[in-house]
């Protein structure tokens, strides 16, 4: 399997993991106090927007060929790092 395909699979697996984490956060929000629900709902909404952006970028990457995918990968990694940080912060804050 080529490098691009392996990279796509790795990113898709990460997206799937983050979707599952967001589902856990949603379940926590349902049992939280009203104030916590508001804060958590906003954070979940932000994470879902970022996740959708990541998914869209992954789609762009999968459609790119040749050297174009290498350039797209650089931009994707920056967005991925940002999403990863946001997910880690939310998880640590609400999964205590």
pLDDT of residue 95: 67
Buried-state track 71-90, b at ≥16 Cβ within 10 A, e below 16: ebbeebeeebeebeebbeeb
Query: What does the pLDDT look like over 29-72, one tens digit per residue?
Result: 888 788 888 888 898 999 999 999 889 988 988 888 878 888 88
Least confidently predicted of 15-29, 49-63, 82-96: 82-96
pLDDT average, residue stretch 90-96:
74
């Amino acid at each position: 399997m080529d490098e691009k395909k392996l990279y796509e699979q790795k990113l898709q697996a990460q997206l799937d993991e983050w979707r599952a984490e967001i589902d856990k956060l949603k379940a926590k929000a349902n049992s939280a106090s009203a104030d916590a629900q508001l804060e958590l709902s906003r954070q979940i909404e932000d994470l879902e927007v970022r996740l959708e952006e990541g998914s869209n970028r992954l789609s762009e990457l999968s459609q790119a060929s040749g050297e174009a995918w290498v350039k797209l990968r650089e931009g994707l990694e920056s967005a991925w790092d940002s999403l990863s940080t946001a997910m880690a912060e939310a998880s640590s804050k609400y999964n205590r």
